[in-house]
Amino acid sequence: MKKNCKMCKQEFNGRSDKLFCGIACKNEYHHKLRKVNSDATSRIDSILHRNRSILLEIMGKNKTRLTTSKMVLDRKKFNYTYMTGYSINNQGKTYHHIYDFSYMLFSSPKVLIVRKK
């Protein structure tokens, strides 16, 4: 079956499920795809990593629960826009997850930080 390589566009003979003329084009394609993907995600990844570092710094290594002023997070330029997930407890309050950490904002303005061990 004649088809065109997804990478170099040259015609080649191959099974219908083959996309590339050879291993070099296949590797190059996946390398470029990884690069495009990491360019698009690295900025947000570093915000999430930074947020986790801030929570870890505030909590310390051994605590699993801490209530503090929201100002502490604000001063460290914590970014509230991004999180890895969220859940709502039975009182309707939202936990914002940052990997193994979670925080909950109160109007006081206080923040509860918990860490899953």
Question: Taking CB under 5 A as the criterion, which residues in 97-116 touch Zn ion?
Answer: none
Q: Which is nearer to Zn ion, 19 or 71 (CB)?
A: 19
If one asks whether residue 8 binds Zn ion (CB under 5 A), the answer comes out as yes
CB of 10 to Zn ion, least distance (A): 5
Show the 3-state SS of the chain: CEEECCCCCCEEECCCCCCCCCHHHHHHHHHHHHHHHHHHHHHHHHHHHHHHHHHHHHHCCCCCEEEEEHHHHHHCCCCCCCCCEEEECCCCCEEEEECCEEEEECCCCEEEEEECC
Q: Which is nearer to Zn ion, 24 or 71 (CB)?
A: 24
**Could you tell me if 20 and 32 are in contact, meaning their C-beta atoms sit under 8 angstroms apart?**
no
If one asks whether residue 7 binds Zn ion (CB under 5 A), the answer comes out as yes
Question: For Zn ion, which stretch binds (CB under 5 A), given 20-28, 46-54, 72-80, 107-115?
Answer: 20-28
Q: Which is nearer to Zn ion, 7 or 73 (CB)?
A: 7
Q: Which is nearer to Zn ion, 12 or 95 (CB)?
A: 12
Question: Which chain residues interact with Zn ion by CB under 5 A?
Answer: 5, 7-8, 21, 25
